[in-house]
Structure 1
């Protein structure tokens, strides 16, 4: 059994991408491999095969490894609901909300869950590819660390350190990070990977030679900057869109609320050649659109108050008066109703907030979170839809008598307004099935829809990443670090 950990000099250095690439590369070598991230902080999550909740990036890594995602792949998930507090999810189940200092004291308990999940995966797979979080050089977080070197030391695994050259200062990032580690941690770093390089590698070579001489550690390779690569983000909202030659484009707007969650729901739209997707941030006016989507939220009442403070509630009413379509997903569904109750104070102070009043339903936040992978058909067309539910609220009201989705388990979900302008659903991943995406785009006003296979696109990009491993990294050393026999 082997473990190899990827840590980064900064957030967004490329850890998730490299682990995804290595999962597919190892699978190509015929090795059963699983991804693992001890601790993750993200508002983009996925429902697992065991009805748990993990970071979205680990679900993509599971796909790269040819596996269904499991809660053991990300045993600690922190979902921020304020600047200083987060919902704590252990092995797929929410155990409550903690302030940062409280969680710091809880880390020893979380550590046991991390090691337990790691041992279970090790019993099933000969190789675990482990992703760190942030940077191992964050001095204030070193005590009780379970996300980076604290985990690597506990399980005695080698580490690769990745840095993003596109940010600048790549040699300072690598040498500085190494310098801030303890001697045993420094010895654990077996090499460097440089990410997102543009230009002539010959011009970089003197720096690579210096780095190896200075540290005594090899550079396994330099990964190029890859254009038009799509992998679902852990948190950062990707705004770049595919180029298109389509004459007719549907204008879609998504307000970016302070605690927006699962914004990866909109990646299929961002990649669709007939959609002009705009994320509207604080201080921006809501532009003219064919479709406005209210996204999921980790703090629904607070985000609804923010929406009103921006004047976006009036923009939604104006949009509907002019015949525009409105879609609410999860927290967005709750906002569209008449009232949101949080009697237990799950997302803030206990209390109630008036909704937008656009659908005859009310929602109450409850301690038990609904976690389901589901399939069914989108009404009224009957298009096939798959997705997942991940919400604490339970909704009721007359609007639910005209549902948006009929599920295969004989339940229904969501609501449609009598005039056909509003759809609301608890389902995330709504646009991933080509048939459902096409049906929703037709509902929103696109006359002839080109069907785009989002899953095939993601699979294609995972394959591209594995090709980069073969072309640009030292696969001999990688095989050694992964416990594989040398190639003949």
Structure 2
């Protein structure tokens, strides 16, 4: 490959559409270059996602860049995702710059009044990464051929020019029309942008490659750029989904033994919190859509949300709040972040910071109240000590790690806390405690709580006991092993099927 004595090499992965496979392609290249001895960093200048994470800098970035950093073997940093847009409601997004909130903005204000500030942050982060790494693998956003927005681009060819990056175009054959999407992308781009594209990858292929080859030869003649490879569709890979669009396509494992119901909130966020449960033996995941039915489940998880009040009202209007209240007498109900806030008695929002609805009544399953008034967003990595309440009594004294991303603070009244806070914030600054528990109902502000093996296994062993199955105890944390296997296998598939010599 290229010489380590060279200046930082920048490679950019763009797609013919959203969800074409850009994120996983970047992760694969990060692992490949890392294993070859290079210092590698992922970079996405602007990401719109509700799946986010708190870095060691106590900064918020998209979860996709966290996975890519893991593949590169480096600590994730806000410089890897300098701009994060988190959709809220009514065409409003919270804008995160270098890991901190810069305000809620509509699209017009962001593009016309904030663009230069965003561009400045992007340039600063790219400069830092170029200083510290040999290779930067950059992820684009959506399609580079959005002709109505070419002059306002902050994520595709504008960034490729800024980084002087070679571009690889990824096209999704699974959705159909792959050759039209490739040709259309090229035809809509200005010539100088077309010239940056050095190769094409066709992704998610399920068929006979011999049948595809005539089309590949023709598209190479049409666009004048080689197809570097065809990546097979591999459903065995278990990697985090980037956003709710891909969550819709994700097929969670069904299981006849034990079913954990997860509320598919309209503004669901950080749903990677439930990923480890999918790896648990005997456990199946059921996404419960608003407008659907809870059905026969053995536990209910209410995950995070970008708008607690609006999603709570949606659950109440659909009749889910009453059904969850009834089921909580028989099965565990667990809330994470916004889901935790919903389980309380009241959510106070006199200033309408969270939504246009103001203050609302909660489900009343935990004797706590949450306030959004005069509260700055809390972004921190956290460490807690289990207090051993309820079904987690065997975990007393056990440490749990997580991260916090919340804009409300919670005061406990009758309910007892779930964790003692050793690092981080918890229910509110300097409270010393996080979460609450009442009978079979509990909640926490700690995202990533089920990534803690002991905590997860105690929860799932409770479900196994309640169904008459043998508990598994603290053996075989398959989640961590399979995640690393998936990243390594992804890199292997990429190397086996893609000609990387174009990047030399």
1:1-400 maps to which residues of 2 (within 5 A)?
1-105=8-112, 106-235=114-243, 236-237=246-247, 239-242=250-253, 249-321=257-329, 323-349=330-356, 351-365=358-372, 366-380=374-388, 381-382=395-396, 383-399=398-414
Q: Distance in 1 between matches of 2:62 and 2:120?
A: 19
Task: Choose which of 390, 397, 404 in structure 1 pairs with 2:418.
Answer: 404
Q: Distance in 2 between matches of 1:250 and 1:436?
A: 17
1:413 is matched with 434
Mark the runs of 5 or more structure 1 residues left unpaired by the alignment.
Answer: 481-488
Q: Distance in 1 between matches of 2:445 and 2:414?
A: 14
Identify the range of structure 1 (230-239 vs 19-28) with the bigger mean alpha-carbon deviation.
230-239
Could you list the per-position Cα deviations for residues 123-144 of structure 1 after superposition, in whole angstroms to 9, with x for gaps in the alignment? 1001100000111112222222
Identify the range of structure 1 (427-436 vs 73-82) with the bigger mean alpha-carbon deviation.
427-436
1:254–1:318: structure 2 CA closer, same or farther, 3 Å change rule? same
Q: Distance in 1 between matches of 2:116 and 2:472?
A: 52
Q: Distance in 2 between matches of 1:350 and 1:56?
A: 30
Q: Distance in 2 between matches of 1:470 and 1:295?
A: 36
Could you list the per-position Cα deviations for residues 172-213 of structure 1 after superposition, in whole angstroms to 9, with x for gaps in the alignment? 011100111011101111110110112222221111111111
8 Å CA contact 2:170–2:200 kept in 1: the answer is yes
1:30–1:139: structure 2 CA closer, same or farther, 3 Å change rule? same
2:429 is matched with none
Q: Distance in 1 between matches of 2:252 and 2:104?
A: 35
Do residues 442 (structure 1) and 467 (structure 2) align? no
1:457 is matched with 482
In the TM superposition, what is the alpha-carbon distance from 1:282 to its structure 2 partner? Answer: 2.1
Q: Between Structure 1 and Structure 2, how many residues are aligned?
A: 472
In the TM superposition, what is the alpha-carbon distance from 1:328 to its structure 2 partner? Answer: 0.9
Q: Give SS of 1:16's match.
A: helix
In the TM superposition, what is the alpha-carbon distance from 1:84 to its structure 2 partner? Answer: 0.8
In the TM superposition, what is the alpha-carbon distance from 1:399 to its structure 2 partner? Answer: 4.1
Q: Distance in 1 between matches of 2:420 and 2:412?
A: 17
Q: Distance in 1 between matches of 2:181 and 2:250?
A: 27
Q: Distance in 1 between matches of 2:258 and 2:254?
A: 14
8 Å CA contact 1:343–1:350 kept in 2: the answer is no
8 Å CA contact 1:81–1:347 kept in 2: the answer is no
In the TM superposition, what is the alpha-carbon distance from 1:316 to its structure 2 partner? Answer: 0.8
Q: Distance in 2 between matches of 1:265 and 1:34?
A: 24
Q: Distance in 1 between matches of 2:435 and 2:181?
A: 48
8 Å CA contact 2:18–2:142 kept in 1: the answer is yes
Q: TM-score, normalised by structure 2?
A: 0.90
1:111–1:367: structure 2 CA closer, same or farther, 3 Å change rule? farther
Q: Give SS of 1:166's match.
A: coil
2:3 is matched with none
In the TM superposition, what is the alpha-carbon distance from 1:243 to its structure 2 partner? Answer: 6.9
Q: Distance in 2 between matches of 1:266 and 1:83?
A: 27
In the TM superposition, what is the alpha-carbon distance from 1:151 to its structure 2 partner? Answer: 1.4
In the TM superposition, what is the alpha-carbon distance from 1:349 to its structure 2 partner? Answer: 2.5
Q: TM-score, normalised by structure 1?
A: 0.93
Q: Distance in 1 between matches of 2:82 and 2:326?
A: 44
Q: Give SS of 1:214's match.
A: helix
